[in-house]
Amino acid sequence: MNGGINMKKNDIKHDPVRDFILDLISKIKERWQTVSVLFIGIMVIIPLALNIYNKEATTDYSVCLLSNISDDIVSINKYCNSETVVKKISEKGTNSLGSSTEVFAFIRDMENMSLEDRAAKLRQANLSQISDNLIKAKLYELFGDILKDSNQISESKENYLMAAELSKNDFHLAVLKFKLSQVFFLEKDFKAAQENIRQALEYDFSDPNITKKIKILKGMIEQAISRD
């Protein structure tokens, strides 16, 4: 894994489709995880001149990935929730991840699943198909969160490490360092937990609640080390 976390925030190049998928992953996590941390940046609201009946929309339905950042949200949502589109997206399958539409269908399919079913779905998935490394990293992180909540700590750690290898975003890396510190702490590897929490604290979080959680864990780690 690369060295320490860069204190300087990255200038994120926004892709509306990618941003929507990342936002959808985060919403799934917020609904189900016991410890949730805010995700990357602020989505850029941009005017999109979308015609939902054009050729692109009727062939791959990628317009549905843009539904929450379109000027015509009502029409787009009505279209994307229509029986025809739901059927077509379902026909794409929910295990292939080769296109944005398939990633969208895969994530949507997990929305009402139990933690156990989500873990099973992610185990069966070939995440290497995803071309965008940040989306791939977020799915590994999601898998790690699900496994941690299922008390499968070692496997959770492996997925967080995979996410950290892929992500190049300073905020996301800091969050992953925090989560790695949590699982190392649960494994009673207090030195590794201490190193990861130190790296997490190098990032200047704008949300004081995140910093508070990190400092609480830091205190717990220091107490555990002092007792050893």
What pLDDT, in 10s, does the model give residues 158-183? 999 999 999 998 999 999 999 999 99
DSSP 121-140: HHHHS-GGG---HHHHHHHH
What is the rounded distance in angstroms from the CA atom of residue 150 to the CA atom of residue 146? 6
123-147 pLDDT per residue, tens:
998 888 888 888 888 889 989 999 9
**pLDDT, greater one: 170 or 25:** 170
What is the rounded distance in angstroms from the CA atom of residue 119 to the CA atom of residue 10? 31
Provide the 10 A C-beta neighbour count for residue 88: 17
**pLDDT, greater one: 217 or 111:** 217
**Long-range pairs of 148-157 with CB within 8 A, sequence gap ≥ 24:** 148/179, 148/182, 148/183, 149/32, 149/33, 149/34, 149/115, 150/115, 150/116, 150/119, 152/119, 153/183, 153/186, 153/187, 154/187, 156/183, 157/183, 157/184, 157/187
For the chain, give every domain's residue range: 16-168
Interhelix angle 170-186/133-149, nearest 10 degrees: 20
Contacts of 17 (CB under 8 A, 6+ apart): 62, 65, 66, 100
Whole-model pTM over 0.85: no
**SS3 of residue 62 by DSSP:** helix
Range 23-58 burial, b when 16+ CB lie within 10 A, else e: ebbbebbeebeeeebebbeeeeeeeeebebeeeebe
Q: Where are the alpha helices (DSSP H) in 33-99?
A: 55-60, 73-80, 83-91
Structure tokens at 37: 């941390």
Question: Is-contact 126 93, C-beta < 8 A?
Answer: no
**SS3 of residue 36 by DSSP:** coil
Question: Is-contact 138 25, C-beta < 8 A?
Answer: yes
pLDDT at 93: 56
Task: Determine the straight-line distance between the first and last CA of the chain, rounded to whole angstroms.
Answer: 28
pLDDT band at 80; cut points 50, 70, 90: low
pLDDT at 153: 97
Question: DSSP code of 12?
Answer: P
